[in-house]
Chain A
């Protein structure tokens, strides 16, 4: 998925408007499966690729801390969105929400369906109802320049 988007951009098959979100500060969340899990199972964690793609869409973004292989899980993985243990799941996400809040970002970009669902589901619980949770590929689609 990252490789495909990277190829589209590098080969000039898609063109992106970096000014579209110039007034927005964003941050990025590393999903466990593309990071730690991929690193262990496939020998490569996808940390740099999504950040490069993000940088092709916008210049104004900052990382949370800690990140990459030391990141905190959003709390929505491993089927947690569907077990019915909702109070526990919301509690789980507190560290991630603290991280996002500390960046001052109004948008968090994620490349994972579970993380996207979890962050959207819990943001109001942590007083961040206005936080925009955006798929990485949604950001790319939003920045597409058509009819060149």
Chain B
């Protein structure tokens, strides 16, 4: 978004975001946030401007802007803010207002696939198990890891771990690190064969209902397998 030359008075609606509990109206316009932000200046992006626009209720310019999607919600702005404005929460809530079909990139598509199939890739259960066992066989051939196998759907494990989808897609080598540590520590652990997805893109798109579904599935896996602890490295 480029800064508009003028703003239509019809867009001003100071009541629009009054219910948001992020202290946005306490902004002092000091610009500490702007100075701290690594992407201030891209397309005129500036966290202070976003906070002012929220205070003024400029809903449509905010939703249509790509500013909230260039921000990584890293929280440096919030950390330096003397008024305690929760700027990353404001950003995430602006993201949540965008039409789902207009969420940029693959974020919403991946999330939709996860809601439908249990993981962002839409990877079928049999393929998932095949990949895990294939990687386990490779580990078992390394010195010191003789007899290694991957415990899928094991009941009563001490640790249940989720899996980042990229580790069963383009980065299968990176599955091995935790597995080797578990083997060395003689840990009792397991991976669920379904709903194993560790990423939760509803966090990024501002989709709370979807986030809740994804988290609920992990909780269901914990209960189904009577796992004691959850390792969720994503």
Task: Give A residues with C-beta under 8 Å from B.
Answer: 1, 4-5, 8, 13-15, 32, 36-37, 40, 69-70, 72-73, 75-80, 82-85, 88, 91-92, 94-95, 111, 113, 117, 135, 137-138, 140-142, 144, 146-147
Contacts and interface: CB of A to CB of B under 8 A. Distances in A.
B74 A78 contact: yes
Interface string B220-234: 000000000001111
B210 interface: no
B74 A137 contact: no
The 8 closest A-B pairs by CB, nearest first: A146-B144, A79-B204, A73-B74, A84-B105, A78-B72, A141-B177, A77-B72, A83-B105
B70 A85 contact: yes
A127 to B, nearest CB: 19
A9 to B, nearest CB: 10
B233 to A, nearest CB: 5
Contact of A1 (B69, B74, B145, B233): B233
Interface in B69-115: 69-76, 78-79, 88, 91, 104-107, 110
Given A37-B75, A78-B74, A83 B177 contact: no
Given A1-B233, A36-B79, A78-B72, A92 B180 contact: no
B201 interface: yes
A80 B164 CA distance: 16
B177 A113 contact: no
Given A1-B231, A82-B106, A138 B174 contact: yes
Contacts of A15: 184
B120 to A, nearest CB: 9
B204 A36 contact: no
A36 B75 contact: yes
B185 A14 contact: yes
A1 to B, nearest CB: 5
B123 interface: no
Interface string B177-203: 110110011110000000000010101
Given A78-B204, A83-B69, A137 B42 contact: no
Contacts of B184: 13-15, 144, 146
B38 interface: yes
B125 interface: no
Contacts of A79: 69, 105, 107, 201, 203-205
